[in-house]
Amino acid sequence: MNIQPVLMPAIKRIALVAHDNRKNEMVDWANWNKPILTQHMLCATGTTGALLETEVGLCVTRFRSGPLGGDQQIGAGITEGHIDFVVFFWDPLESHSHDVDVKALLRIAAVYNIPIACNRSSADFMVTSPLMAGEYVRLAFDYESVVSPAEEAASRV
């Protein structure tokens, strides 16, 4: 399997997502980390983005609400190379109507080797890392170069 280097710029493109009962925690965390966050480009799902704009004063590109496709929009941003980093305060103990979208977002972040923080502690460690201050080359597997067993068998015919 090929590994492809992908440059993450010094100004990170960070996606912020929070489930309903984690939104206050996201606002508090964003206030605490506002000096760092203002140095980067931010996007968020609908309600989370609105809260970050009004409660924290951050400039945020807003996507749709998570259940209305916002999680999928962030996943698409990852696949298209427009998102470098995700902070997702999700609630693992609460069932959500869009659980499949949550799982898909977590999966796509793993596939593209995107840093993702799923709780406040990991978000704190990530945004205060020395790697936040400059460019970073993340290594991503080139899954498109992998030939499936079915394709390999068909090529022998």
Selecting among 71, 84, 101, 142, the annotated active-site residue is 71
Between the alpha carbon of residue 136 and those of residues 12, 80, 115, the distances in Å are: 10, 18, 11
Residue 90 phi/psi, 5° resolution? Answer: -105, 160
What distance in Å separates the CA atoms of residue 26 and residue 18, rounded to the nearest whole number? 6
Between the alpha carbon of residue 144 and those of residues 18, 74, 140, 141, the distances in Å are: 31, 21, 11, 9
Query: Structure tokens of 107?
Result: 């999966």
Residue 58 phi/psi, 5° resolution? Answer: -90, 150
Q: Indicate if 91 belongs to the active site.
A: no
Q: Within a 13 Å sphere around the CA of 83, how many CA atoms are in the beta-carbon half?
A: 29
* Residues marked as catalytic: 71
